[in-house]
Structure 1
Amino acid sequence: MTERVWPEVYKKLGVSPIINAQSWVTALGGSIMGPEVRQAMDDAANAFIDIKKLNLAAGEVVARSCGAERGLVTAGCSAAQVLMVAACMTGQSEENVEQLPDTTGMKNEVIIFKGQRNRYDKAFVTAGGTLVEYGEPGSVTSDDLEAAINENTACVAFVVAPFIDHGIGLEETIRVAHEHDVPVIVDAAAEVPPRSNLSKFHKMGADMVAFSGGKGIGGPQSAGVLAGKADLMEAVVMNSLNLDSSVAGIGRPMKVSKENIVGMVTALQLFTDSDEAAEWAGWQSKAEFVAERLAGIDGLRVVIEDDPAERQGPQPVLYFEDDFDGPSIADIKQQLEDGDPGIYVGGGGSREEINIVMVNVQDGEEIIIADRLNEILRS
């Protein structure tokens, strides 16, 4: 794809498509669903269905894919975060479910390592919980977590994401929490691929794990997957669906349409069955093309990096040395975004770099990216 594609639906609205080299970010539309997923959603739209039965059937697919006892399709990962905490606070009490966000009489503290605080963790308190920080980045110990746990602790939250400090690590977090019979919930929104991560955190003993559905899995952007221990997942269902009673749980505004449920499980099955090595090789090839085209620019160092702790697949990372005599990172990014089509890349902010994430770069777009960067950096 070297020619600009402007679907008619966007053209009518006057909104021009862009090249996404910034990753599966919500602000740029997540990922692009495959034709099988879109067809499945279209098919689902043409019939009425018992939503409870559909949720249970889809949950079985999620559970199998994640190696967990029970699963559920949610309205994105953030909704799953809300529901995980709600379940830990209410248990399977209908009275508690109906009472939220008032947590009077319930354990309502969500413990989180200070180094993992992020702009998305508000979801952990949406149901009425209270965040309690522990430890300092660079010096946190298991004793810090021990000291934070008390009779009001509902759960310990752990965040797995690029550039996030893992503190004492998930395995040790689980060990300490479980010694006090406290569940551990995991926000792993963008941690697939690799596909092994779907089950990795469950095998480590995590009680519930949430993933975004519209990122690496390739499902609808407004869907997610949540899986975990059966008793807690039953409490999740009560807080989100609870179709057997008159109770409207805290998750009622986060309901998932039949189309999104079907699209999500279809994408999940395609994702787990697909060739991860071939996918990776495609990203590597595009990364190498861009890196080679940017070679020889004074003051610019281009490195292909693929550390899964920081990078989503192989990507060219542009580092600017002291002798670089060109525009600032902010100016470069602005010029890319102002082009036709606009190109959105990662980096900047607290990191003096530009990273070009290949996971959403369509075939041929790496040529456009390389040409535009050469035009800006060599001028």
Structure 2
Amino acid sequence: MSDRYVNEFYASLGLRPVVNAAATLTRLGGSLVAPPVVPAMAEAARHFVDIVELHRRVGQRLAELTRNDAAYVTSGAAAGLTLAVTACVSGAGGGTDPVAIEDLPYLDKTGERTVIVYGSQRNGYDYAVRQVGVRLVEVGPEPGELAAAIDGRTACVLWFAGAHFSSGALPLADVVRIAHEAGVPVLVDAAAQIPPVSSLWHFTSEVGADAAIFSGGKGLRGPQSTGLLVGREWVIAAARANGSPNHSIGRGLKVGKEELLGLLAAVEWTLAQDEPALLAAYEATVRGWVDGLAGLPGVQVERGYPSEAGQPHSRALVRIGPDSGWDRDRLVAALWACDPHIAVGEVDPNTIALNPQPLQDGEDEIVLRELRRLLADRPA
């Protein structure tokens, strides 16, 4: 193992670092932070500050950078979902109505509230919404279904971004039009939708959603424990009123001064990057994998597009046939047993995916070398 993969802190805990060819997954630490992030966090750690005012100033700067009316840093994208839905439930009074705030999450005084979602878009992040106390109402792809589901209890419509969520749901522009005609706000979960960086303003400023939520620790390469909520001023004001350090449902969703400056540094850095060149580099990596794994017995490899999160870049799909002597689970386990660990995506019972986005320079070659070594050696 090279010195590059020797981490004294991990080693002291008996842990090995990971070559991540899977995705910017929370269970693998998200992404590696951009170069300016750690210095910004270290500087923040050296001084006390008025957190409420820092939140406001950072939010103002992020709003300018992302071409939105307002912005707010959250403790991850799931927390952003919780606070955005809370804003829609309590936002009639700017989010500061003490009756509405104290009524969360049981809604005994204000009455039942619902959030409309597409049945095809239901996922594990439902919990971030349900903890507000709302009930989820499913609709299908016909325009009339959404309009019919909206009533006096509807707090908002939640729409999940990404090509992998598009089937079974109306396009966002149609959702916004139907919901806004009924006076209902629209939220977009876009946690993993960077790249493209234009997502930061596309869903809100261009398409018209009231707010969009992003992970700070995925494509933005900020602190893993951050998220970014952008959109209309009333949504952000209500989210802020119900978030830490205020005593409301979001009190536990705390963001420190270090994360605030770290995410700001990450967004500034991301917007300064050459995104077309970055995407071209991803494509070159995938071509290298496809070419390098071609011709191995029992193995089929092809370019898959888009990514597992519906982002506009490809990945290599490696199908493990019986003639290879391997099955998917044994191969995944063998890659994880390498030093450093190698993590890959799991697509179906016979296929793994290699994603270029989380890799550092040269790690694509490590992945290719270890895969070729394992696949050339039939297991006992």
Would the TM-score normalized by the shorter structure come out above 0.5? Answer: yes
Residue 146 (structure 1) aligns with:
147
Match in the other structure for 1:355:
353
Tell me the equivalent position of 1:28.
28
1:168 counterpart residue number: 170
The answer to whether the 8 A contact 1:65-1:199 is kept is: no
Matches for 1:1-379 after TM superposition, within 5 Å:
4-91=4-91, 92=94, 93-104=97-108, 105-106=110-111, 108-135=113-140, 140-161=141-162, 163-166=164-167, 167-202=169-204, 203-241=206-244, 248-307=247-306, 310-311=310-311, 313-320=313-320, 324-349=323-348, 352-379=350-377
Query: Separation in 2 of the partners of 1:304 and 1:334?
Result: 23
1:324 Cα deviation from its structure 2 partner: 4.0
* Displacement after TM superposition at 1:299 (Å): 3.5
Aligned residues: 369
Fraction of identical pairs, as percent:
35
Q: Deviations over 1:88-114 (max 9, x none)?
A: 001122321232112131451011010
Instruction: Provide the rounded CA distance (Å) in 1 between the counterparts of 2:120 and 2:336.
Output: 32
Query: What is the one-letter code of the residue matched to 1:83?
Result: L
In the alignment, the residues of structure 2 paired with residue 277 and residue 98 of structure 1 have an alpha-carbon distance, to the nearest angstrom, of 48
User: Residues of 2 paired with 1:107 and 1:61: CA distance?
Assistant: 36
Instruction: State the Cα deviation string for residues 121-161 of structure 1 (Å, max 9, x = none).
Output: 210111111111112xxxx2011111211111100101114
2-side partners of 1:4 and 1:59: how far apart? 36
**Alignment partners' CA distance in 1, 2:177 and 2:259:** 36
Q: Which amino acid aligns with 2:261?
A: V
- Higher mean Cα deviation, 99-108 or 204-213? 99-108
The alpha-carbon distance between structure 1 residues 328 and 4, as it changes in their structure 2 partners (threshold 3 A), is farther
* Cα distance in 2, alignment partners of residues 168 and 126 from structure 1: 26
Q: Alignment partner of 2:164: what SS? A: coil
Q: Distance in 1 between matches of 2:23 and 2:251?
A: 30
Distance 1:116 1:363 in 2: 35
CA distance in 1, matches of 2:55, 2:323: 55
Deviating beyond 6 angstroms after TM superposition, the runs of 4 or more aligned structure 1 residues are none
CA distance in 1 between counterparts of 2:111 and 2:242 reads: 15
Tell me the TM-score normalised to structure 2 length: 0.92
CA distance in 2, matches of 1:352, 1:180: 46
CA distance in 1, matches of 2:355, 2:163: 13
TM-score, reference length from structure 1 = 0.92
SS state of the match for residue 80, structure 2? helix
Q: Name the CA shift for 1:90/1:165 in 2 (closer, same or farther; >3 Å).
A: same
Displacement of 1:62:
2.0
Q: CA distance change for structure 1 residues 216 and 16 in 2, over 3 Å: closer, same or farther?
A: same
Alignment CA distance shift 1:234-1:310 (3 Å): closer
Which stretches in structure 2 are left out of the alignment for 5+ residues? Answer: none
CA deviation after TM superposition for structure 1 residue 71, in Å: 0.5
* 1:297-322 Cα shifts (integer Å, max 9, x gaps): 2342222234367356332111346x
* Secondary structure at the counterpart of residue 165 of structure 2: coil
8 A Cα contact 1:89 1:107, kept in partner: no
Shift of residue 231, structure 1, vs aligned partner:
1.4
SS in 1 for 2:107: coil
Go from structure 1 to structure 2 and tell me whether the alpha carbon gap of 1:14 and 1:336 turns closer, same or farther (over 3 Å shift): same
> Matches of 1:54 and 1:312 in 2, distance apart?
34
Work out whether residues 193 and 311 of structure 2, in 8 Å CA contact, stay in contact via their aligned partners in 1: no
State which drifts further: 282-291 or 178-187. 282-291
Gapped regions of structure 1 (runs ≥ 5) = none
For residue 277 of structure 2, what is the amino acid of its counterpart? A
Q: Residue 186 and residue 307 in structure 1: after superposition, are their counterparts in 2 closer, same or farther (change >3 A)?
A: same
Distance 1:340 1:73 in 2: 36
Separation of aligned partners in 1, 2:60 and 2:48: 20
